[in-house]
Each structure stands twice: as C-alpha cells, then as structure tokens.
Amino acid sequence: MKLTGNTIFITGGGSGIGRGLAEAFHNLGNKVIISGRRKKNLQETLIANPGIDAVSLDVTNPIQIREVAANLVRDYPALNVVINNAGIMLPDNADGEVAEELLVSTVSTNLLAPIRVTSAFIEHLKTQPSSAILHVSSVLGFVPLAGTAVYSATKAALHSYSMSQRYRLKDSSVEVLEIAPPWVRTDLMNSREEERAMPLDDFIEQTMVSLETATTEVLVEGAKPMRNNPGPTEHGFVGQFNDMLVGVNKAA
C-alpha cells in the first residue's frame, strides 16, 4: 500500500500496536484519526502527536460503529484507509467452562467488530481511487496459545475473513492486508516488560517496511515460523509451543 497521502482511521489507536501505527503514519504526513474506549489513552496520544484526531468508540456497540463511521465519512471525505486494530486478550479455560462474559466480549471485540467496522466504511472506500483495509490479527491465529483459546480462535477467524474479503474486493480499488504480529511488548497479557516479546518500536519499524510491498499479509521476521506452521503436521509444533510457555519439559 502507499504509505503517504492517506486519511487513516485506526481502532484501538490509543495504546500498543494501534498507537505505534498511528504515530508511524502520522510522522509520514498522513492524516490519522484514532478511536478507543479509554479517553485517557486517546488524550495522551493526542498530546504527544499534535495533528492526530480522535473519536470515542466502543467497537462492541454496532449502533455506535455506524454513527461514528457516518460522521467520519462526512468530516473526512478523503478517508481511504481503515485499520482494525482494537482487540482484547484474556486467559481462559478450554478444558473447563469458559466464562460467558469473556466469550462474548472477546468475540465481539476481536471478530465481530472488524467485520462491523469494515461493513460501515466499505461502500465509501470503494469510491476512493486507492484505499485499503488492514486487519490486525496474530500469529496465534496459526499456532494457538491454549491458555487463550478464545482469543486465538478469533484471530484464526479474522485471518479466514480477510482472505474471503480480499477475494471479493480483488477487482475494486480496495486492497485488504492482514498484519499478523508475533508476541509484542504491549499491554496485552501484561507483556510491556516481557523480555521474550518483540519490542514495540522494532515491530512497528519492520511492519512499516513490509507494508510498502505487501499484497496479502504483513509479517515481520519473528512471525514467519509460526505463520508457516499450519498443515498436516501442525499439531506437534502447537504442542511444543504450548509446553514451552507453561514450562513443561516432556523430555524430562
């Protein structure tokens, strides 16, 4: 996708990967509008980045999504890029009862919201000479983390939806890209200080480079081994990955 001359709307843009992308695109001279539920995070981002705009949005509220989209199309008629970044990640128990509140909030935020947000903007995006939809998924959509089974499942579903959407839009001016991050130092699962996770600045820098030439998926080097895992022999790697994270040594 082209990295300059855009008007970009980013959900979940007040922190983590969303804020990192917002600042990177802003620094390239694009017009950036961010959204989120936490007004404090939005305000901090605006103060640190004069020129970025913000709107309050709860992406689990379909009525609010439609209202915000209509207002943005009216106020920013050149809007041509939508980045679905908002997401939540909570531990769950696939070997027992999954709490209803966790199930509903995770699926609503991570899967239903990107579909609803895209649906609210899609007809407008088709009118732009060059436009893009970016879905932020996760490598956990390819190699699930058993302790966050619902989160991993939503990201796998978002990957599938991205492929279908890309196919349906192949003859339009709208390109569909999927950013699949590895473990990154953000607030998700309290990973801000996690040494095993990729530094956020490094992730954003590599992602912006990849975006210039990507046509389907945007992958930093650290994400590629997990992206390449799915297939007939994927189960062994999934087991090894989860054993490693819970500290189980099956060879012992």
Q: Is the pLDDT of residue 214 over 50?
A: yes
- Overall average pLDDT of the 168-195 stretch: 91
The one catalytic residue among 76, 151, 161, 167 = 151
Is 151 known to be catalytic? yes
Residue 125 falls inside a structural domain: yes
Q: Flag whether pLDDT at 248 surpasses 70.
A: no
Residue 251's pLDDT is: 39
Single-letter residue type at 156: A
Average pLDDT over residues 219-230: 94
Number of independent structural domains in the chain: 1
Terminal-residue alpha carbon distance, the chain: 49
Kindly state whether residue 37 falls inside one of the protein's structural domains: yes
18-49 burial: b if 16+ Cβ within 10 Å, else e: bbbbbbbbbeeebbbbbbbbeeebbeebeeeb
- pLDDT at residue 247, rounded to an integer: 65
Q: Is residue 252 part of a domain?
A: no
Q: Is 235 among the domain residues?
A: yes
Q: Can you tell me whether residue 32 is helix, strand or coil? A: strand
In terms of residues, how long is the chain?
A: 252
pLDDT in tens, 120-142: 999 999 999 999 999 999 999 99
* 94 falls within a domain: yes
76-85, 207-216, 230-239: least confident range: 230-239
Q: Give Cβ neighbours of residue 202 (< 8 Å, ≥ 6 apart).
A: 220
Residue 1 lies in a domain: no
Which residue range is the domain that position 62 belongs to? 7-246
- The answer to the question of residue 109 being in a domain is yes
d(CA 100, CA 170): 37
- The three-class DSSP label of residue 53 is strand
**CATH of residue 53:** 3.40.50.720
Burial of 110 (0-12, 13-18, 19+ CB in 10 A): buried
251 part of a folded domain? no
